[in-house]
Amino acid sequence: MSQNKSDAPEKRVEKLQIMVADSELSMIDDWRFENRAASRSAAIRSLIYLGLELTKSNPEQVGKLLEQLDRA
Amino acid sequence: MFLPVSASIRQFARAVTADRMVGDELALAVSAEANQKNRNGAPPANRVEWFRRFVLRWREVMAEEASPKPFSNSAFIRSMGPMPSEARLVLLLNDVCGFSAREVQEILEPLSQPYEELLTEGRSLVRSDRGERSALIVEDEPLIAADLRDVLEDMGVIVVGMARTAEQGARQALKNSPDIVLADYNLDGQKTGVDAVAAFHDAHHCPVIFITGYPDEVLKGDEVEPDFVIVKPYRPEAVQAAVAHCLDAARYAAIDADAKTGAL
């Protein structure tokens, strides 16, 4: 979510709602425990960070993965 | 009078899921899938074609044999459970979305039974026994409020409150915990039906149906967009079909619980 920082003081936190299937939530929780994330929210933030970093370092692979996801 | 197409499809998906957020996500996921499939073809020429492609793609995703890739649109669509029955789809498209018999047949073809039989079956679902279900009406015009009460009582829903202002509406919702709220968007005075709903929705979450003469003003896709909109002048069967769907559709308890705690 983009915010215009010059208009208003920056909000410190934003609550997001996401919808995932039960099986997907299990995958997130498994990742959380394998990687010792402090909470589900922390695990999801880490996964987002990884996704963003991979997009920067390997855009071709990200493109391929997204294409596979759309075609699934 | 018709809603714009994208709002119309969101409305349809909200009716199917009886949940604004889930319905909108379903509408986006199925639309994305349909666009993906038709990306080299012509865009839909009209409203009927949009709906036809939407329903067709939804059916195809549900019928796929392979397990969908986790976190894909297909996985999300499949996690919603089975599609509503043909009778329910006919009822929704005809009575709530306002399509003609010929248009509904075009959207849903091939139908497994004659159209009239499906519509009769769909309308009988409206009157099926739901036990004691209650409704709150927030409407500032007494004649319309009384008419809505008759429409609800005709289908066996008990009207537990009739509020004339946003403040009264919020108070009565908290006091009576209705299973469903019908609210006029344009209440007399400063506040709208959205204000009434915003005032109680955190404490008492239930489906809300807005009735308005100005759907373009209400369905803007922003944060205060209501769950469900019926365009004035309404037809009694449209109100009954929408109420029946909202009362019947399973609520997504896990999502509601997460929304309350704000936790991911």
**The pLDDT of residue B253:** 37
Are A40 and B78 a contacting pair at CB < 8 A?
A: no
Residue B254 · residue A24 · CB < 8 Å: no
H/E segment holding residue A66: helix A59-71
Strand order in the sheet with B180-184: B158-163, B134-138, B180-184, B208-212, B228-231
- Residues in A closer than 8 angstroms to B71, CB to CB, are 20, 24, 69
**The pLDDT of residue A45:** 95
**The pLDDT of residue A12:** 80
H/E segment holding residue B212: strand B208-212
Query: What is the number of other CB atoms lying within 10 angstroms of the CB of residue B204?
Result: 16
**The pLDDT of residue B152:** 95
| Per-residue pLDDT tens digits for A8-38 | 677 788 888 888 989 999 999 999 999 999 9
Q: pLDDT tens digits for chain B (264 residues)?
A: 456 677 788 888 888 877 778 888 999 999 888 888 777 788 888 889 999 999 999 999 999 988 889 999 999 999 888 888 899 899 989 988 889 999 999 999 989 999 999 999 988 888 887 788 999 999 988 999 999 999 999 999 999 999 988 889 889 999 999 999 999 887 766 677 777 887 887 788 888 888 887 766 666 655 555 667 888 888 898 899 888 888 876 444 333 344 444 444
∠ CA B13-B14-B16, rounded to 5°: 65
The answer to whether residue A13 neighbours chain B at the CB level (below 8 Å) is no
Distance CA B198, CA A29 (A): 33
Residue A35 · residue A43 · CB < 8 Å: yes
**The pLDDT of residue B254:** 34
Are A21 and B264 a contacting pair at CB < 8 A?
A: no
What is the residue-averaged pLDDT of chain A?
Answer: 87
Angle between helix B236-248 and helix B115-126 axes, rounded to 10 deg: 70
- The dihedral built from the CA positions of residue B63, B67, B72 and B77, taken in this order, carries a sign that is positive
Task: Give the CB-side neighbour count of residue B93, counting CA atoms within 13 A.
Answer: 28
Any idea where the domains of chain A sit in the sequence?
A: 22-71
**The pLDDT of residue B166:** 84
Q: Percent of chain A beyond pLDDT 90?
A: 62
Q: How far is B64 from chain A (nearest CA, A)?
A: 10
Among B72, B76, B262, the residue with its CB nearest the CB of A19 is B76
Q: Annotate A1-61 with DSSP letters as a single string.
A: ----TTTSPPPS---------HHHHHHHHHHHHHTT-SSHHHHHHHHHHHHHHHHHH-HHH
Distance CA B203, CA B73 (A): 32
What domains are there in chain B, each with its CATH number? 5-125 (1.20.140.160), 128-253 (3.40.50.2300)
Residue B89 · residue B45 · CB < 8 Å: no
Distance CA B205, CA B179 (A): 9
The contact set of B with A (CB < 8 A) is 21-22, 25, 32, 36, 68-76, 78-79, 255, 258-259, 262-264
